[in-house]
Every structure is written in structure tokens, then in C-alpha cells.
Structure 1
Amino acid sequence: MKNSFKLLTLASSLFFGAALNLQAEEVPLDRIAAVANTGVVLESEIQDLIQSIKQQAKNNNQELPSDNALRVQVMDKLINDSLILQIGERMGVQVSDAQLDETLTNMARDNGLSLEQFRENIIADGLEYEQYRESVRTELISGEVRRASVHRRVYISPQEVGNLLKMMKEQTTNEVEYQLGHILIAFPADPSQEDINAAKTRADKVIELLNNGSDFARIAIASSSDSNALEGGDLGWKTINEMPTLFSEIIDGEAKGTVLGPIRTGLGFSIVKVKDIRGKEVVEVEEVKSRHILIEPSVILSEAKAEEILQGFLDQLNAGEADFAELAKEHSDGPTSVKGGELGWADPGSYDPAFKDALARLDINEYHKPFRSSFGWHLVQLTGRRTLDATEKMNENRAYQMLYNRKFGMESARWIKETRDQAHIEVFDLEEK
């Protein structure tokens, strides 16, 4: 709607200018580059993102593929964003200005900057701060929609956790981590044998280029259909147990720089590079104890009203006029209400990212102002924090999280492919005649 209004305004201005025969400087009309269901991708949005990527590549001394290849990847991302935002609108997912400002403040803090310094750095990179701000809002909404949509597709059985725990116990203590790069040569929807053969030919060509010294990140940006293509295909650091099974079976024991594949999956052919190897870092494990009140927005309960209700509870608690447990029992949605909202001791990494981040900012017994996660609106109090050595329970939680992350990544890729396959997508040729 916002983009459509922008186009309508520009078109109206040009029309009335011509009708009055005004002598004015010609203003180029922003054009629709693609349609994705009820959403549109504007040419200006493509150029803004391309500019941002080029600036980031320049800062990192990273080579980029041709402008045409980069445009294809940017177009795909913006189409995906449009489809996901439409799903988010139907789900009622919103990110308020206050939530957005809080996220930007946290991003600035993580970089050792004030919000104003962070803003100045964005502008110094040649980017419009308001556009950058809205892109962060889009990423937040997309993340919530993706988590909520994919979470229900992930099932992990107790037997799977038990099998992984057994495998972890049998491994040596000198467990290593691999930094991986990934390129996906995707199949189209309902691929024919000819489509599969063509994808295999492309994958073989990519491997040939990589083995001849071509830059992996540049090839990933140009050729990969994976969601991390614009990040150069980087999958980050993973142990064998944290990788998809198809990868772990061939990567274990391989040397740095090894290119593996093509590996056929349900989505296409994968090509994996072992970018680096290191000994597994030993990290102290922290657990948190907390309790919360959850309000789930609905057709009859708006986002704003849910936030307002929790803010009212917070005001009562700060004034000593209410008891947290009683409020939770009476008003909280979800299974913890009967326990007064108590969540017990848990690894914060097992929580929704918004919930995890909120707990990280709290001192013991401090309340966090109402915030939204993919489950709804929360009022949370941190009641304890402790550091643990490895325990059976911690290993069980770690095994579950490994399995969840592995399955989430695969299901997320399937989900976005299914979303695109079911959508009406039309890309327009904007070349000048």
C-alpha cells in the first residue's frame, strides 16, 4: 500500500504538471520492477540495496559479481521480503517505533557507539538513515514471521536427542569447528529430469571455478539460491553435530580449503567449502531463571492493547500494588500461567531471540518493559542467573538445540521455496528501449 501510494502520488504530479503545461525540471518516475502477490518491488528499492551491498563490500575489500548477477540476487531477496511481510500482515506481526528504536540502540551498543554515532556512521557510508531504519524493521518482521511459520514444522523426538547425546559422548574431547561456505544451485518447482541435469551442469561448473581459484563469496553472491547468498554463502562456525546430516557425513576430517559436492538435496545441488578449522572454543554456560506474563494478540485483542495491558501490570508491580504470580495465574496465556509464570532454570539460547535479548539486559529481580516475541507480548522478570559446568541436563539441552537449528535451517529453506512456488511473481524488464 505504501509503495502503491508513492507511485500514485508521483503519477498524479506528472499528470497535472503536463495538463497545466508547466515548464519544470523532469522528475524520473519510480518504476515497478516486480510484483509478488499483492506487493510490489520498486526499482528504487533495488538500487538502494545494491548501493548498500557495494558499500559494505568496499569496506570489507570484498569482490562482487557482475551488476546483473547482483541485481538478480537483490531482486530475489526483495521478492522474498515482500511475500514474508504480506504473511506477517495477515498474522498481525508488527514492530512499533519504540521496538525499532530499542533494536537500533542495542545494535549501536554492540558496536561501542551511541545511537547518534551509529546514525552518523550509516550516513557516512552513503546510506539514508531512514531507509536503513526501515530495512531493520523489515528484517525484524521477517525474522518473527519465519520463526513462527517454520517452528511448527520442526519436530524432534526424544530418541533423536538420545542418539545425538550418545554420539557426543563417544566423540573425543578435541572436537573441532568448521567454518563453512555454502552455494545452492536450486531446482525449479516440480523439476523435470532436464531441469535436474541442467542444475547439475551448473553445479559442476561452479566447482570447477572454485577449484581454479575463484573467490567463493563472489561466486555465492552470483550463483547461489540460498538465503545467505548476499552474505557470500557464509554458514558460520559449526561442529559436525551442528551441520545438516548430508554435510557432516562428508566434511568430517576434511582439510581447510576443501570444496565438496555437488550434494543433491530436495532443493537442488549444494556445494560446500571448508573455509577454516579451529579447536572448539570452551565457553562457560550460563543459565537464567525467569518468569513472565504472556498476552497473545488476536482478532479482538490488538497489538497495542496487549502492550497496554502489560504496561498496566508493570506499573502496578512497581507501585507494590500487585503480585506477579497472581497476575500471571489470572491473565497469562500459555502453559506457565498455572505456575505463576515461572519458567525455571534454562539456557537463554533456547528462548525466542527477542526473549533471550530481553533477559540479557536485566539485573536480578528487574522487570523488562513489555516487548514482543514471535509468541506474543511479554512482561518478564529475571529472578536468577548462574554459570554451570557441563551437566547431563545441559548436554541434553545442547543436543536438542543442535537438532533444532539443523532442522530449522532446512525447513526454513523449504518454507520460502514453497511460499514462492505458491505465489504470483512477475518480474518486469526495465531495460531502456
Structure 2
Amino acid sequence: MTERRSLASRRWTALALGVCLACGGAAQAQSLRPSSQLNLLRGAPVAPGPRTVDYIVALVNSEPVTNNEVRARLLRVEQQLTQQGAALPPRDQLARQVMEQLVNERAQLQQASEQGLRVDEPTLARAEQSIASQNQLSVDEFRRRVAADGMDINFLRNELRNQILLQQLREREVDARVRVTENDIDDFVREQKSNTDLGSLELNLSHILVRVPESATPEQIKALEARAQRAADRARKGDDFGELAREYSDAPEGAQGGQFGMRPADRLPEIFVTATRDLRAGEIAGPVRSPAGFHVLKLVEKRQAGLPDVSVTQTRARHILLRPGPQLSQNDAVTRLTQYREQIASGKANFEALAREHSQDGSASAGGDLGWASPGQFVPEFEEAMNGLRPGAMSLPVVSRFGVHLIRVDERRQMTLSDREQREIVRGLVREKKAADALETWAQDLRSRAYVEYREAPQP
């Protein structure tokens, strides 16, 4: 596996990925899909440093928010902003913002308590296990690293418990009440399509250039145009555009099949945008003349900002999953999967047979087959490793929140989404927007109903 970075240098990036409460549940292939994640602590939950005399900075319904709490959260926020390369505002200004965040959270936690919400020990343990796994550690190793970095594990667990409570409350009070109608979807699509700004249009083009020298004679120009026309005709008949680009194109990207990749339309030559913006995916434009020569263009994909892709790349993969536990440490799981990988690569074993025999996942009976998957269908750590493999290739052991995986990619394909599939994606986008608006309104309302008394200003 790639060299493991220290937990301190990662700054607890696993927390930012979110923790799935279902971790450790039934061993099903479906569990790879991030259906219920918590967006937890943004940055490291750092315990306060050397303590000064503490004091109360605010009361929220008679419950105190202390200066040491502000200092601890402030340090965490500063670490996150620094990692992101963002400019830090004045520290006293940031401290006031952090205090307001703590006041709002305190009011919400009190609401969760009034509603009887609780985080039991098994749920908290699963969350802690998930964080440890994402950092490629056992729980014991994770706790030792926490102590070595000068952090209090009880402080971290309490922060984690509070964030889970907040998520549960928000799901009950906000997410469960958000409704998306067909009219909402229609309005969203209409609004996005009415945006004619080129900055909101993205095009994925493939390109063939038949270059015309400045000194070319009319006869040479005619011959070069005919060459470009042959390439265009073959492309329209269905010949592989990448092969045609390697055969005909004089452009530097010709050797890579002529692909530009997805780019904003305002960063492409105007002649390319004009020729392709009204095409459908897969259609050909050209030859089009420019000072450089004759261009043949294929529209691979077109995307309006805010709308889902019309086509997606799907991957069909298999995996063998081992779940660390009392009888199998994470390191042992990695070692065992490394051995399986070597056996498969040498021809001594079959991936499907090993999956049926050893994989602790619902896909085991199908030889580890996970079926065709679209982007975003699996948890990020699994999907990132899968996307880095070409068809037929196997990964090194990959640690996710569900265990350790050996992944093999079997096939890839480009699929055009049906109207129904596109609408379902839009439904999700609209739901996210409505939920975000509803969350802000709910949080402001709850804050306005809380009794907040400010005492001394925080001293970071």
C-alpha cells in the first residue's frame, strides 16, 4: 500500500469525510454506498492547550459557554483554514464567530436533549471505529496516536457524540420535512437552461486538426480540406474518434485521442463553441476552418452549470472485503489481501473463487461482482481507488470505513442517462438546496427563541 502518513499530518481528514452510522452492520455490497453519512467535525477536535483561568463568555438558557471552549474550537478552525490555504481573519474577529457557532450548537443540543435524543455507546464506538479505519489504524492505534498528539480521547469522543446528536436533530427537524415536487424540478431545470452565460456552459470536446501552413498553395489547401473531410466522414460513420485523431490530427493532443476534457465554454476557442454548442453528445462538427487549419470536433459531453451530466462513465468492479475485528487485525487483513493479489497475478488463484470463499460481503456469492456503478455510488475512499484502475487491473489493499478491500475493475462504459434518471439527479440537487435553506431558517428560529446572555469577550 502507499506509505501511510501520520495521523497528525493528516489532521484528521477522515472526520471531514463523514462517518456512516451503519458501519459494522450487515455485510452487504449495498453498504459500500454512502447512503447515510454524517458531515462531522471540520478539522481536528483539539483539546484546549495549557489552561489559563477559565471564565464564562456566554450563557445559553443558563448553560455556560466558556473561554476554553472557544479557544479549543478556534484552534481547530484555524488549522482547517490553514490547510485549505485560506487567509486567516483577525483572531479576535474569528473568536467572536466561533463563539456564535458554539452558542448556536448549544441551543441545538439542548433541543436534542428535550426531544430525548441520545447517542448510545455502540453508535459512538462504530463512529470511532470508522474514523480509525479511514486513517488506516485500529481503534487502539488510533487512541495511542490521539494521546501522542496531545489530545484527550474523551474530549474527542464527546465532540463526536455532540456532532452525531446535532445531525440526528437536523435530520428529524429539517431533512424529514423537505418535500420536492415535480414543479420544483421543472422550475429548476427551466432556470438553469435559461442561463445563456458561456461561463455556465461546459463542453467536453475531442478534436482533430489538419494543419494548413501559412505558405500553402490553393491546391494544397484543397487537399488538406479533403483530408479533414475524410476524417469527419469516418467519424460520422462511427469510426473510433480517438483512433482517427491519432491517424489524422496534427494537434499535440492527437496522440491522446484528441481529447480536451471538460472545460468551461469561455475557455475554449469561440469557433469551437459556435460549432458544437447546439450538438447532442456524440455528434460531429466540421471541418471548420481557422487560421491554424481545418478542425473536426466531436461533442463528448455538454453540461450546463447546475444541471446533471447527460452521460456518465460507469464502472463494473469486483472486490474482496475483509472486516477487521477481534479475530483479524487491520494489518492482518492487508497482509492476507496482498497474498490473494499475488496469487491471482501469478495465476495460482482466481479472483472470483477467492471472493466466494473469503469475502465478508453480500457480493461474495457473485464472485465479488458489484454490478455497474455510476459516480458517487460508493464511498469516496473506495471510489477513488476504483477510478484509478484501468479495466483488468487490481488495486493494492484499500482501507475504507467498512474494512479492507481488494478491488478489480472489469469494464467501463459511457452511458447516456434517461430523462427519468436525470430528473432523479435534479430531485437530489433541489432537495439539497431546499434542505440547506430550511436548515438555516430553522437554526435562526431556534437561536431567536433561546435566552442568550453575553458575559466577557473571549480571549483567544
Shorter chain as denominator, the TM-score bin is: 0.3 to 0.5
Higher Rg: 2
TM-score, scaled relative to structure 1: 0.42
Higher RCO by CA contacts (8 Å cutoff, separation 6 or greater): 2
- More helix per residue: 1
